[in-house]
Amino acid sequence: MSLPNMQELIEQELLSHYASMYRLAYTYVKNEADAMDIVQESAYLAIKNASTVRNPDYIRTWIFRIVINTALSQLRQKSHEISAEKIVEQGESDQYTDFDTIEALNVLNSKERAVIILRYFEDCRLQDIADAMKENLSTVKSILYRSLKKLRIELTEGDICNET
């Protein structure tokens, strides 16, 4: 495929998966403004590097990988600027607390949250998640099952606490 055609495909994917990219970025930084910055930077990088994509079937996975790498890069950069405690405090004010499930995601680490969001919110296949996270399939499955167990415990305890 020629560069303009691949670039058009990437632009279409960016537009159709913009909300997905934002949710994925937000799981890492837990801050609306930072998540928006990550999405914008990721879109720029995707368009800039459009010529490196060889197979259009993997554009979505490739874009999610860019979002993950950009989010991790921003977290590393911020950790040098301010302490990790301040990152947590800064993110707490922007948490979505409307839904129990979204709130329960806070018990997961960033890798676990990413797997859950990509699998259940973005309906990605496990192999695509593994590719995006540069993990093998069995590792992603382990992360998924461990995360589901944590979420089940968190949501069940919440129900028990609310009933008493």
d(CA 116, CA 108): 9
d(CA 74, CA 34): 8
For residues 46-52, average pLDDT: 90
CATH classification of the domain holding 74: 1.10.1740.10
Number of independent structural domains in the chain: 2
d(CA 13, CA 43): 10
> Is it the case that residue 91 has pLDDT exceeding 80?
no
Segment of 54-58, 90-94, 151-155 carrying the highest mean pLDDT: 54-58
d(CA 59, CA 48): 14
Is 133 found in the same domain as 79? no
> Is it the case that residue 49 has pLDDT exceeding 50?
yes
Distance of CA 126 to the CA centre of its chain: 14
Percent of the chain with pLDDT over 90: 27
Per-residue pLDDT, 159: 54
User: Considering 83, 117, 138, which residue would you say is the last residue of a domain?
Assistant: 83
User: Considering 50, 83, 116, which residue would you say is the last residue of a domain?
Assistant: 83
Q: pTM higher than 0.85 for the full model? A: no
Residue 90: inside a domain = no
Is 116 found in the same domain as 58? no
Q: Which range marks the domain in which residue 31 is found?
A: 1-83
